[in-house]
Amino acid sequence: MGLAVWGMDEAGPYQAIPQPGVHWQPIGRPARYPHEHVRHGIAKMLTLFHPASGQVRVKGVTSCPNVILHAWLEAELLAILDALPTPIVLLPEDENRAAWERWQAGLTVKPTLCDELPPLRMLLVMDNLAGHLTACFVVWLFKHGIMPLYTPLSGSWLNMTESIQRIVAGRALAGQTPANSAELIEWLEATARAWNADPTPFEWGGKRQLRRRRAYLRRHPLGGSGACTRRPIRRRLRFTEQWRHSGQVTH
């Protein structure tokens, strides 16, 4: 429908302690961690992810109250909207409202729409934390043509955002020993910039689904059990069908 779909999530906290991961060590001299359990600060990662292009926007913070989160989101969303094409066809007011309401069908959390709505331009998938339901933030989204879609954790589109967070955090921190929160933030944001230099789009299904589909087509399911066979099982004819084929049954 020509709408941009972005996912938003917060990851962390990540601690400034030795992180598990693969090390290049001489044989017989494995990597050793310090015995002191000292924390040198934490960092969280604010994330906006566009699955269709693979682009990710990351901001490292030491804490994310609504004041910080909403300010960052509004600035990033405005930059994204400025890069989107301007709607050419303007719908009548009733059809425009119906287009907004259509995306709320089936949702458990349905924010009340404003009386005046601009053309819908973006879908923003978020979890249903209390900070994302703040009235002033939701109204700001509506006024800029953004429909917030709240989904449970690890659900559907939000899971894609969580996946890119695991990729970025793993590349940035695995096997490293950050000294403080500033290093954590620097490494997370640098890794996101490197990812955006050659992003990988996320798609539903992909090669794994195609392999499963081909494998399923090579099998013949058996009713009721969930099992399957490599070749079709010849059906036994019923008694009346046997007589019909033999020509001894007349109508």
Tokens of 221: 């399911």
Q: Helix 66-83 and helix 135-143: axis angle, to 10°?
A: 10
Confidence at residue 154, expressed as pLDDT on a 0 to 100 scale: 47
Confidence at residue 145, expressed as pLDDT on a 0 to 100 scale: 87
Confidence at residue 49, expressed as pLDDT on a 0 to 100 scale: 93
CATH 3.30.420.10, the chain: domain bounds = 4-22+36-197
| Cβ neighbour number for residue 196 with a 10 Å cutoff | 14
The pTM is what? 0.72
Confidence at residue 207, expressed as pLDDT on a 0 to 100 scale: 73
What superfamily would CATH give domain 4-22+36-197? Answer: Ribonuclease H-like superfamily/Ribonuclease H (3.30.420.10)
- 63 neighbors 44 (Cβ within 8 angstroms): yes
Average pLDDT along the chain, 251 residues, taken 10 residues at a time: 84 80 77 70 91 92 90 93 79 81 77 82 86 87 88 68 90 84 92 92 76 75 69 63 55 48
Who contacts 140 (Cβ-Cβ below 8 Å, separation ≥6)? Answer: 70, 74
